[in-house]
Amino acid sequence: MKIALRENVDLIVMGVKGCSEIEHVLVGSVADKMFRRSPITIVSYRGQKEAERLRKRVAYLLSD
């Protein structure tokens, strides 16, 4: 964040992957902190492997 602010960055693209905790299923803990604190627009990217893992978790949670 410090570098992005110092370099006057307009946009941050950030990869995210889910963690085991429920509150971090959709967004990783580092990405979550960035989204909450950043004055710069952030776009998140989730790779195919992580997206499939998330779909399985959501389907499991909805099946209960």
Q: Which residue has the higher pLDDT, 6 or 45?
A: 6
CB 17 within 8 A of CB 28: yes
Torsion-angle region of residue 8: left (phi > 0), alpha (psi -120 to 50) or beta? left
Residue 56 pLDDT exceeds 60: yes
Domain that holds residue 41: 2-63
| Per-residue pLDDT reduced to its tens digit, 1-44 | 889 999 999 988 887 665 555 555 555 667 778 888 899 998 87
State the pLDDT at residue 30.
72
Residues 6+ apart with CB under 8 A from 19: 25, 28, 29
Higher-scoring residue by pLDDT: 55, 1: 1
pLDDT at position 22 = 55
Overall number of domains in the chain: 1
